[in-house]
Structure 1
């Protein structure tokens, strides 16, 4: 069907649909000759996609939007016809910070408002004692990890730009940075939170599904210009990813999926850690405490693969809130247009059929999100860089 395709990815479990599509033959069955290229940083993936070294990529959803709006880098419009994952991130902290937060906790440790308020008390105590501000790692300025950390902290009264340090680290480097004391915590995707816990250097404080019920995480990203010239290839990629996601979501296939992802040239961590992630059954503390959540990572179920422009609007709103973007109806429209449910529906022969209604974003704090009125939404938050 096509010339060989090169698709970049970062070693994360939410690259599973792409990896399984290639390694189980779903891509080949669509007539596609795909080579997956393992990268270490999101800037590498973005840049190689933008200049044409990759035809498609496993990409942070906000990077696809930022690239399309020309934020933080050159303007290259991106099309996202498939969601590779919803949720899947977690906030992990060092044993020392975990103990400090638990010592200040005034409620349920699984309640992000309770831990955010506890964090604000820890931050205040450190400031009073003259200690250095806490440092948290996130994967990219235009990342869900950045926005999820900020949303959580700010809800408790911590200004993420004034009260703590946020630093960018590639996902595979998070654990070593925590172990070496370079950061006090981080927000990253699976499996790196679990790796930190297994090594005894971290406690998983929250799944992102505690903070946002439904959060677009990674997308299948394609340059808009290339997608417009190769619509049949785009449709074939969507079908291959969809079938791979269906395969992954069958419980009887999880062990095989974990073995595929565990290969050194793929994610490269122990298959048991990956299977726990796929099953939503994670060890959250070095003492062996386990936690289960059916919402930890959605790969294919609950219509997870279908792009939702409301999710794109929420991500754009975070860019505005934290001073990365100005607010305008045109920019909002352009951000929403990155997510292409129409291409998803066409590829799967679902045109004209009512799609399953996506769930609300469901943030734990603030008003319900209205994608048509982000100015009023942002006005409800006390901490942020945007001012009306």
Structure 2
């Protein structure tokens, strides 16, 4: 069975152009953005420049204005965009919009496509995905949903509280996951931000600082939506969530792998230029171990990511492979960034070298889209079932 890891010319062309764009256009904006905060004005400015450079949304189909790359090809390009925390935002391949665009592309009716997907794909609006709830509601266990969607004349009434909803402030709409016992399961609904029952009640103060629109507490206060606001079929929301969550886990891996690589590049450059105790840092054994471990884990994470992205591109809908990749890569990139901070010393904890900012932002990756422990539980249960079947 042959393994071909060579990249098509079009992929290497976009990769190299994205690298230059990130270096020349995006990275120079970082310090001002970290100091003042990321806002929609910066998003629109960067996205306009990405469009002008012909580097818009590599993961989107061409008929939506994107690059039209296959999922495994997009792995190369989203990693390159992720070298700056602002890069995915500039190229319109950042969370939560990237995952929402994918799901809308798979499930939206023609009218929903026109109203929500096309402007989202064009960067004209932003969105959010409202599933996570305050305890004891849904978090790692989506079956614990407490927000409800109740049928009424001509539509649905949504009631309940959500929290840690990324990007909710300033989003044009939300995809809301709600329990709907009348439909026999959870239902996904599209709710416009202008709906009087869509109420942002506060912001969580989290350690990351580059997420546009914050991580919000949202109340759905008897929010009425018409029947055509249902995304897909009523009662099928948990099944549809896998349409979004499995690929979204991997696109997170792509972007964060790029950020970890950037942290390592900064630490490596500092290690060869900074002398301590009479020799460059890179010549000291303990530093060499950290450098080597970073090189190994970046290569291992990329190899696993490419394999699973290829499986998805071939039509594999299994979530187990994406769970394995998400656990390994989220923990590997955390270790890479942590070592990079250590190699950079005191300045590694600051935003001046960017490594400190990456360190703070990457920590949550081991929790969202399924905490490592939840994925491990699922992987172990599947392995045990196979062992029992084989026995």
Give the TM-score, by structure 2 length: 0.29
- Higher relative CO (Cα under 8 Å, sequence separation at least 6) belongs to 1
Give the TM-score, by structure 1 length: 0.29
Larger radius of gyration: 2
- Between Structure 1 and Structure 2, the one with more helix by share is 2
